[in-house]
Amino acid sequence: MPDARRFGLLVQVGAVLLALLSTTLVLLATGAPPLEAFSSIVVGSVGSWGKFSDVLVSWSPLLVVTAGLLITFSAGLWNIGIEGQVTLGAVFTTGALFALQESGWNPALVITLAMLAGMLGGALWAALAGALKTFGGVNEIFGGLGLNFVATGLNLWLIFGLWKRPGVASMSGTVPFDEAFSLPTLPGSRLSLVAVGLAVLSILLVYFLLKGTYFGLRLKAIGKNAKAAYLLGVPTWQYTMLSFMLCGMFAGLAGAMQVTAVYHRLIPSISSGYGFLGLLVAMLVNFHPAWVAPVALFFAALNIGSIQLPVVLKLDSALAGVLQGTLVLFVLMADGVQQKLMRGALRSEDGTAERGESA
C-alpha cells in the first residue's frame, strides 16, 4: 500500500506540473513572457502585507462556500445553484441592514442579525433547489442553474428598483451603508478578523459534522447509494433537504460577508463567482475537508495576484482561472489514470491467483 500511495503522489505531482506547463504554453501562445506573468502573480498576492491581507479577504467567503459544498457533495449532490444561494444571502443581509439601520439598536446586534438573515436567505434559496429535486424530480444541476439566473434577476431588480440609489440607479450598486454597519477591519487594510474567524469556524464545523457525527455518516451513505441508505432506514429526502439547506446557509454567510466586510453595499455581481470557484476547490481536494483551507488560500492568492496583470503586462486577469481550471482538470485526469493502472494491476494479480488455484 505505501507503494500505491507514493505512486499516487507522483501522479498528482505530475498533474500539477502538467497544469503549469500547459498554462505556460497558453502564455507563450499570446506572446507573453511566462516567468514575468507568474512572478507578477506571486508579487501581487504575497509580495506585501497589504496584498496578502487582500488574499485573506477573498479567502474567507471562498472557504465558507467550499465548506458548505462539502456537505452537499457528501450526499452525492451537485449544488450548482450555490451562486444563487450566495447572492440571496447578500440580498437578505442587505434587506436586514436597510430595515434595521435606522432602528438605533447597537450596530453589533444589527450586523449579527443581518448576517443571520443572510444565512436564512441562502438556506431558503437552497431549499428551493432541494424541493425541486426531492418533490419535483428536477435534477439539482438544472434546477440550480435556473435558480442562479433568477437570483441574478432578483438582485438586479432590487438594485435598479426597490433599493435604487436616490437619483440615478446604476451598476455600482445600492447606497453604501454607514461605516458602523461594517465588520471591523484591521487598521490600514480591508481585512476583517471576524470574517476570517467565521470562515475558519465554518470549515472546522463541517469537518466535525462529516467526520465525527452520525449525521455525516448517514449523509455519506446517501451519497454512496441512496436506495440502500433508504432501505436501511435513513430518512433520505429529509437528509437531502437538510444538506441543501445547510450548504445554502454557509453560502448565505459568504454572501453576508461580501456585503458586510467587502463591498458594504449590494452590487450586481455580489457573489464574485465564489460559488463556482468553491466547486472547483472541492473537486481539487477530492472532497477532503482537511485540504480545503490551504487550497482555497492558493486559489484566492491566484485571483488577487492576477488583478494587476492587465496593468503590468497587458494580460487578461482570466489567467488565474486558466491555471485553476487546468489544475483541476489534470488532477481529475491523473486520478483516472491512477485508478486505471491500479485496476490493471489488480486484474493481473487476480489472474495469477486464479491460475494458482486451478493448478
Partner 1 sequence: MNIDILLVSLAGVLAAAAPVVFAVIGETISERAGVINLSMNGNILLSAMAAFAVALATDNIALGFLAGMLVGGLVAAVLAFASITLKQSQVAVGFVLALLCRDLSYFLGNPVMGESGPRLSSTPIPFLSGVPLVGPLFFKHDVVTYLSFALIVAAWVFLFRTRPGLVLQGIGERPAAAFARGADVNRLRYFYVIVGGALIGLAGPTYSLSVKAGWKGAISGLDGIGWIALAITIFGGWSPLRAAFGAYLFSLLQWLGLALQPLLPGIPAQVLQVAPFPLMILTLLLVNVGNAEWVERTLARLPEPTRRLLARALRKLRATPPAALGTPFERE
The site for partner 1 (CB under 8 A) is made up of: 26, 29-30, 78, 80, 132, 135-139, 141-143, 145-150, 152-153, 156-157, 160-161, 169, 268, 276, 279-280, 283, 314-316, 318-322, 324-326, 328-329, 332-333, 335-337, 339-340
In the complex, least distance from residue 209 CB atom to partner 1, rounded to whole angstroms: 23
Cβ proximity to partner 1: between 46 and 169 the closer is 169
What is the DSSP secondary structure assignment for residue 317, as one 8-state letter? T
Shortest CB 322 distance to partner 1, Å: 5
Q: How far is the CB of 338 from partner 1 (least distance, A)?
A: 9
Element (H, E) at 110: helix 107-134
Measured from the CB atom, the residue of 46 and 150 that comes closer to partner 1 is 150
One-letter amino acid of 148: N
CB of 277 to partner 1, least distance (A): 8
Nearer to partner 1, 312 or 322 (CB): 322
* Closest distance to partner 1 from the beta carbon of 136 (Å): 5
Q: Which residues of 223-257 are buried (b: 16+ CB within 10 A; e: fewer)?
A: beebeebeeeebebeebbbbbbbbbbbbbbbbbbb
Q: Which is nearer to partner 1, 136 or 188 (CB)?
A: 136
Which residue, 215 or 230, is less far from partner 1 as judged by CB?
230
Q: What's the 3-state SS for 115-164?
A: HHHHHHHHHHHHHHHHHHHHCCCCCHHHHHHHHHHHHHHHHHHHHHHHCC
- The DSSP letter of residue 241 is H
Please classify residue 137 by burial: count the beta carbons closer than 10 Å to its beta carbon, then call 0-12 exposed, 13-18 middle and 19+ buried: exposed
What would the grid cell of residue 49 be?
Answer: 502585507
CB atoms near residue 337 (< 10 Å): 14
* Smallest gap from residue 106 Cβ to partner 1 (A): 36
Q: Which residues contact 221 (CB under 8 A, 6 or more apart)?
A: 228, 229, 232, 234
Closer residue to partner 1, CB minimum distance, 213 or 339: 339
* Ramachandran assignment for 340, one of left (phi > 0), alpha (psi -120 to 50 degrees), beta (any other): alpha
Residue with Cβ nearer partner 1 (206 or 334)? 334
Min dist. Cβ of residue 285 to partner 1 (A): 13
Is 205 exposed, middle or buried (CB count within 10 Å of its CB: 0-12, 13-18, 19+)? middle
User: Distance from first CA to last CA of the chain, Å, rounded?
Assistant: 28
- Measured from the CB atom, is 84 or 289 closer to partner 1? 84
CB of 179 to partner 1, least distance (A): 29
